[in-house]
Amino acid sequence: MLIIDTHAHIYSPDEERYPPIDNPLRPPGGKASVEDLRAVARANGVDGACLIQTSTFYRFDNRYTADAAKANADWAAGVCTLDPDDPHSPGLLRQYVLESNIRGMRSIPARDGRLVHPGVEALWRTALELGIVINVLVGPDKADQVETMLGRFPRLRVVLDHCMNPKAGPDLEATLAKVLRLARFDNLHAKLTFIPTGSATGYPCADMHEACLEVVRAFGAERCVWGSNFPNRLWTPKVSYEEHLRIFRELLPLRDSDRRRILGETANRLWFGGRLKDTA
């Protein structure tokens, strides 16, 4: 079975070449470079990965993501993050796509808090022209604005990062309802990374399984993808890379065809043009 990790953050050990921001959020123990990711992926039978720009370490300096994606183009694709308030960002996005192996952009609201914003729209238009994917990163308070943007860009492939971070507890149903309402947009895809981040327990995070299955039923497995949240010691300290993958490989009651779509086939189509193969 082809497996693609659609959500991995990477950190360079060379901080002179790739300097971090002030007071960066550091992964405990290091071991979070693209080489470390590749080793963990291989050990778990993962065939490819999306390298997600680490804004909490580099902010809008995408050089490490771009360089790592280009150097590892046989199994990786890069997803950059650009400043929607900077008028140079659309041109920079075009440059990254044409010169490096950047196949997606993580979209965040503008400085004033709006997703429906001229700077955000300029980046989405550029992504549509370039044929790359938008990963939109927002909370449930921005659901209406996501709706507006999807209506304005019906041909753009969009992924809802972390599905707006549903968490076990009193707000779960309300957040989930907003995610499910967005499923009617055929160009929107759900990134199923929220089981370990939303769980109130450790592995196997059973309190979030049904929420995940509801998202799969609403979107269809052909519009769902899995991501690890690497490095897991930082982002999912109660759940390891192997355990997170096992939840989707074995524990969730999915049809085999749906499991294949969620774990690899959908991601292969979105970020890799269908070129990755199962190497296990």
Residues of the chain with pLDDT > 70: what percent? Answer: 100
Q: Is the pLDDT of residue 165 over 90?
A: yes
Radius of gyration over every alpha carbon of the chain, rounded to an integer in angstroms: 17
| The token pair that represents 103 in the structure block | 């196949």
Cα 233 versus chain centre, distance: 18
Tell me what the pLDDT averaged over the chain comes to: 97
**Digit-coded pLDDT (tens) for 91-150:** 999 999 999 999 999 999 999 999 999 999 999 999 999 999 999 999 999 999 999 999
**Digit-coded pLDDT (tens) for 25-58:** 999 988 999 999 999 999 999 999 999 999 999 9
| Domain spanning 4-271: CATH 3.30.420.40 | no
Residue of higher predicted confidence among 278 and 175? 175
pLDDT at position 30, please?
86
HEC assignment per residue over the chain: CCCEEEEEECCCCCCCCCCCCCCCCCCCCCCCCHHHHHHHHHHCCCCEEEEECCHHHHCCCCHHHHHHHHHCCCCEEEEEECCCCCCCHHHHHHHHHHHCCEEEEEECCCCCCCCCCHHHHHHHHHHHHHCCEEEECCCHHHHHHHHHHHHHCCCCCEEEHHHHCCCCCCCHHHHHHHHHHHCCCCCEEEEECHHHHHCCCCCCCHHHHHHHHHHHHHHCHHHEEECCCECHHHHCCCCCHHHHHHHHHHHCCCCHHHHHHHHHHHHHHHHCCCCCCCCC
**Digit-coded pLDDT (tens) for 237-256:** 999 999 999 999 999 999 99
pLDDT at position 279, please?
78
pLDDT at position 280, please?
63
